[in-house]
Amino acid sequence: MGAALSTSSSPVSILPRPDSHALLSPIAVASTTTGRGSFSYSPVAEAIQPQIQQHHQHHAHHGGHNSPPRPSVVASHPASNLENAVLDSMHTSTTESVLQWPHFDSFPSLRNDYISIFHLEQSRPPFRTRTNTMCPYASAAEVDAVLQAFEHGVNFWYPTVSRAQMDDIRSHILEGRGDDDTGRCLALLTMALGCAGQVIGGLVDVSVLDDGERERRRARRMVGDMYFDCAMRMLHVALTDVSPVATHCLLFVALYFAFLRRPLQAGTYINAAAAKCLLLLSYPPDHPTSSDTERIRRIFWSCYILESDYLAELSIPLSGVGRIESSVPLPGDYHTHSTPQEEEQSSLYFLACISMRRLLNRVHQLLYAKETGACASLDNAKFPSVVRELDHQLEEWRDVLPAAFAFSLNADQTADGKRITEHGGFLRQRYLTCRSVIYRPYLMWMLSGAGEGNSRGIGGGEPRVSEEVLVNCRACLDACLLHILNLRGFAHTVLVDTWICSLSMAAAMLILLAACRMPTLRSLLIGPEVMAAGDHLIQLLEGWQMVSGEPNSPSVDQSVRIIREADRFIREVYGRRRQSLEDARRPWMLTTKA
């Protein structure tokens, strides 16, 4: 399916600072060989481009796609973090950080009764398995339907289960063998995730479910919970075992907790799975099978994506996967799906998600790391060059996406005359998230001028703000608004990312509200679209909570409350603006009549 992936690396050059302090610049000088060690290296180029080229040349689907060996996993050294796309647990781009902006002091109800995400989730009743739950009986046809939902859902987004392993899982369920081993535990977890896929599938084009459909989905949730309960009662076997199968179990427990919207529990098991991954990568067996080696690598990359997603909003303990990711080969040849076409698309989708997550980590770290990020002091002599380079890498990522995942940069659901696929729609959301965060420094710089009692900001006084600054502010605001308006019930989002998505959307609404307060920035927004944003989000998030089943996530509910409040204030701002325009026209109209 693809050529060998490049592992070349060049020394990271550091631009000298104009002052006497020898500080590391976030911008590395581009060398003629842009490997993983250089900042100008594009993570997606390594991950996807060789495969796209092979795809266009009509090479055989199972052509050698294994990565050449990289150095063995070693302990991280601070300097190596310039190679690794590391996201530190302390950064200033979380939704909670945005909520603390002084521009929201005028809207006290946004922060009234606010509880930190950690304490809100920590205060929930403990998760308890039902000790009397019997493992559900399922016919061969029912098992096949559940496993098919798993294959098209979880195993498409995180393709870690091979066809041979899937056959083994099917045998475990139908024959009931292995009452107390990790294979049986993994089979039960796979069934639970397949049922979860049945619960949330097909929501992209559906806004309202009838009573019968809601009941069907509720029943599938109950069956999924039963499989999960049975798996959790024997999870001690996987926790004490150190093997690829045991590691797989921990990853799947994390994914089911993500479906249940329990981020603390999901984060705990992501960390546990990552720890076993690191151990198995550090001590490979003397005679490893290619299947087990590829399996662990794919679990590693799944943990990397998931942990980074949680770190973007919550300061969970670091497992260490981010600090050694540049030494772990990217996914290679692995038979995961029934058809070659779906297998290839799943592999490319996984690589696109890995590449985007690596880029997002660089964005958060280079721009928003506490004290060292380019935005730490809002130095407009520093962050513009970082923004330009990151935007260049983002556009490279989009340019090499395969046609199946192509998307337009507007609110249309078509690209080049073809309907955007569900997977393309999800990747567009990732793109818009990244773009809004890349250009946010310009918005923060503009807002930083809103000092004591002065709501005009830098744009309200002299010298006049340059056109370039306004264009870049518009880029941030457009990305935020499109990120909101293009949100749909993507299965990947609803099953895995509902909690994360609710926080991301709350942050987007807060940014739009902050911009609405400044005339210079407000003029960059288009009224009707902004006015529709809040209702759109509330309908989706509340609908997802209802479909996924109780108990609701309190932090998702809190995000919905913030979205509702921000939407109310945005409407008030635009209402006052409309009234002012009408008042300004009234004397002219009276004069005309006279």
Higher pLDDT, 62 or 261: 261
Predicted TM-score (pTM) of the model is: 0.83
Lowest mean pLDDT among 262-266, 347-351, 523-527: 523-527
Rounded distance between C-alpha atoms, residue 487 and residue 495, angstroms: 14
User: What is the per-residue pLDDT across 369-400, written as a single tens digit (0 to 9) for each?
Assistant: 877 777 766 777 788 999 999 999 999 999 99
Closest CA to 229 of 154, 128, 147: 128
Give backbone dihedrals phi and psi of 382, rounded to 5 degrees, phi first. Answer: -110, -50
Q: Give the model's pLDDT for residue 289.
A: 85
Residue 125: pLDDT over 70: yes
With a pLDDT cut of 70, the percent of the chain lying above it is 77
Rounded distance between C-alpha atoms, residue 321 and residue 44, angstroms: 19
Lowest mean pLDDT among 5-14, 100-109, 204-213, 306-315: 5-14
Confidence band of 464 (pLDDT split at 50, 70, 90): low
- Provide the 10 A C-beta neighbour count for residue 109: 13
H or E element that contains 418: strand 418-419
Q: Report the chain's mean pLDDT, rounded to a whole number.
A: 81
Q: Give the model's pLDDT for residue 416.
A: 67
Residue 227: pLDDT over 50: yes
Rounded distance between C-alpha atoms, residue 409 and residue 435, angstroms: 11
Residues forming a β-bridge with 207: none
Q: Give the model's pLDDT for residue 83.
A: 58
Residue 460: pLDDT over 80: no
Q: Give the model's pLDDT for residue 299.
A: 98
User: What is the per-residue pLDDT across 288-302, written as a single tens digit (0 to 9) for each?
Assistant: 888 889 999 999 999
Q: Give the model's pLDDT for residue 497.
A: 96
Residue 113: pLDDT over 60: yes
User: What is the per-residue pLDDT across 12-60, written as a single tens digit (0 to 9) for each?
Assistant: 222 232 332 322 222 222 333 344 433 334 444 444 454 444 444 443 4
Lowest mean pLDDT among 97-106, 144-153, 435-444, 555-564: 97-106
Q: Give the model's pLDDT for residue 81.
A: 47
Q: 83 with 279: CB under 8 angstroms?
A: no
Please give the distance of CA 555 from its chain centroid, rounded to a whole number. Answer: 17
Q: Give the model's pLDDT for residue 177.
A: 66
Confidence band of 90 (pLDDT split at 50, 70, 90): low
Rounded distance between C-alpha atoms, residue 223 and residue 256, angstroms: 13
Lowest mean pLDDT among 132-141, 347-356, 449-458: 449-458
Q: Give the model's pLDDT for residue 411.
A: 77
User: What is the per-residue pLDDT across 520-562, written as a single tens digit (0 to 9) for each?
Assistant: 888 887 677 899 999 999 999 999 999 999 999 999 999 999 9
With a pLDDT cut of 90, the percent of the chain lying above it is 57
Mapping DSSP to helix (H, G, I), strand (E, B) and coil, where does residue 203 land? Answer: strand
Maximum CA extent, the chain: 97
Rounded distance between C-alpha atoms, residue 579 and residue 392, angstroms: 42
Mapping DSSP to helix (H, G, I), strand (E, B) and coil, where does residue 126 land? Answer: coil
Residue 437: pLDDT over 60: yes
Closest CA to 159 of 341, 1, 346: 346
Residue 585: pLDDT over 70: no
Confidence band of 277 (pLDDT split at 50, 70, 90): very high
Which of 37-41, 97-101, 221-225, 446-450 has the highest mean predicted lDDT (pLDDT)?
221-225
Confidence band of 462 (pLDDT split at 50, 70, 90): very low
In this prediction, residues 428-454 reach a mean pLDDT of 82
Residue 70: pLDDT over 70: no
Q: Give the model's pLDDT for residue 76.
A: 40
Q: Give the model's pLDDT for residue 147.
A: 98
Mapping DSSP to helix (H, G, I), strand (E, B) and coil, where does residue 12 land? Answer: coil
Give backbone dihedrals phi and psi of 507, rounded to 5 degrees, phi first. Answer: -65, -40
Which of 89-93, 332-336, 411-415 has the highest mean predicted lDDT (pLDDT)?
332-336
Confidence band of 92 (pLDDT split at 50, 70, 90): low
In this prediction, residues 473-489 reach a mean pLDDT of 95
H or E element that contains 414: strand 414-415
Confidence band of 582 (pLDDT split at 50, 70, 90): low
Higher pLDDT, 365 or 270: 270
Query: What does the angle CA 342 – CA 346 – CA 348 come to, to the nearest 5 degrees?
Result: 120
Q: Give the model's pLDDT for residue 322.
A: 87
Rounded distance between C-alpha atoms, residue 16 and residue 469, angstroms: 25
Q: 439 with 431: CB under 8 angstroms?
A: no
Q: Give the model's pLDDT for residue 558.
A: 96
Residues forming a β-bridge with 398: none
Q: Give the model's pLDDT for residue 178.
A: 57
Residue 166: pLDDT over 70: yes
Closest CA to 391 of 442, 347, 426, 425: 442
In this prediction, residues 149-170 reach a mean pLDDT of 97
**Gap between the terminal Cα atoms of the chain:** 78
Q: 347 with 159: CB under 8 angstroms?
A: yes
Sign of CA dihedral 183, 185, 188, 190: negative
Q: Give the model's pLDDT for residue 88.
A: 60
Rounded distance between C-alpha atoms, residue 150 and residue 195, angstroms: 8
Q: Give the model's pLDDT for residue 209.
A: 87
Return the exposure string of 141-153: e unless at least 16 CB atoms fall within 10 Å of the residue's CB, then b. Answer: eebeebbebbbbb
Higher pLDDT, 414 or 23: 414
